[in-house]
């Protein structure tokens, strides 16, 4: 089974401001940025390749607070030890779990899942610590915010990556894809 990360960061490596805000990320407010047009940077193709999206509580709460559920009928698992319930609006496709990344990975593998999308800083870090991530795609947005929530933190040892490809977009976004060794 493959587990992939597909995420945007600032050039200085943050996935959100210290308070969790994404105001630096074009389109995060639900308004289409005319500079981006209908470009989705491969996200639709990526979403069509996955069976299950695993996200953390903070990511879930941020997404659900927008009033728009961007994941349609994709099966979503929210990994949290503190969240007690899921919004009724998405209860047909979203479930809540409190377990380790390794336990969840093994359960999903046993259930026949083929490709997981891992999202959210702490969740990504937990899956990386468990050596469960196969591939990482990072889209760097041309902005520096100086401080925030880092994509990579608390990694106990080096994680070797093999560069697969990089695409530079006209708007300044730079997307790199890596295989985790």
pLDDT digits (tens, 9 = 90+) for 168-180: 998 899 999 999 9
| Domain membership flag for residue 35 | no
| CATH code, domain carrying 49 | 3.40.430.10
pLDDT, residue 16, reads: 95
101, pLDDT greater than 80: yes
pLDDT (tens digit per residue) in 121-155: 999 999 999 999 999 999 999 999 999 999 998 78
| Domain membership flag for residue 109 | yes
Sheet with 115-119: list strands edge to edge: 94-97, 75-79, 52-56, 115-119, 2-10, 135-141, 174-180, 161-168
User: Residue 69 and residue 72: Cα distance in Å, rounded?
Assistant: 7
- Enumerate the β-bridge partners of residue 78: 55, 96
| Domain membership flag for residue 95 | yes
Residue listed under structure tokens 């695993």: 54
pLDDT, residue 40, reads: 86
Total tally of structural domains belonging to the chain: 1
pLDDT (tens digit per residue) in 57-86: 999 998 998 888 889 999 999 999 999 999
Q: What percent of the chain has pLDDT over 70?
A: 94
Residue listed under structure tokens 């600032």: 10
Query: What pTM value is reported for the model?
Result: 0.92
Q: In this structure, what token pair is assigned to residue 14?
A: 């943050």
Domain range for 107: 13-18+40-180
| Domain membership flag for residue 131 | yes
Torsion of CA 39, 45, 151, 91, to 10 degrees: 110
Please give the average per-residue pLDDT across 40-51, as a whole number.
94
| Domain membership flag for residue 144 | yes
| Domain membership flag for residue 147 | yes
| Domain membership flag for residue 162 | yes
| Domain membership flag for residue 4 | no
C-alpha to C-alpha distances, 50 to 19, 23, 35, 115, 149, nearest whole angstrom: 29, 27, 28, 5, 26
């Amino acid at each position: 089974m493959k587990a992939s990360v597909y995420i945007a960061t600032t050039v200085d490596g943050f996935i959100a401001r210290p308070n969790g805000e994404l105001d630096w990320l074009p389109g995060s407010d639900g308004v289409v940025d005319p500079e981006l047009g209908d470009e989705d940077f491969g996200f639709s193709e990526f979403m069509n390749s996955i069976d299950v999206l695993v996200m953390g509580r903070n990511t879930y709460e941020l997404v659900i607070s927008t009033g728009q559920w961007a994941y349609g009928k994709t099966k979503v698992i929210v990994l949290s030890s503190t969240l007690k319930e899921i919004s009724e609006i998405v209860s047909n496709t979203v479930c809540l779990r409190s377990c380790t990344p390794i336990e969840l990975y093994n359960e999903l593998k046993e259930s026949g899942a083929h490709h997981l999308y891992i999202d959210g800083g702490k969740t990504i870090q937990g899956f990386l610590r468990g050596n469960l991530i196969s591939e990482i795609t990072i889209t760097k947005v041309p902005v520096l915010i100086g401080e925030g929530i880092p994509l990579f933190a608390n990694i106990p040892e080096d994680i070797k990556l093999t560069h697969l490809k990089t695409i530079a977009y006209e708007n300044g976004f730079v997307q790199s894809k890596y295989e985790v060794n």
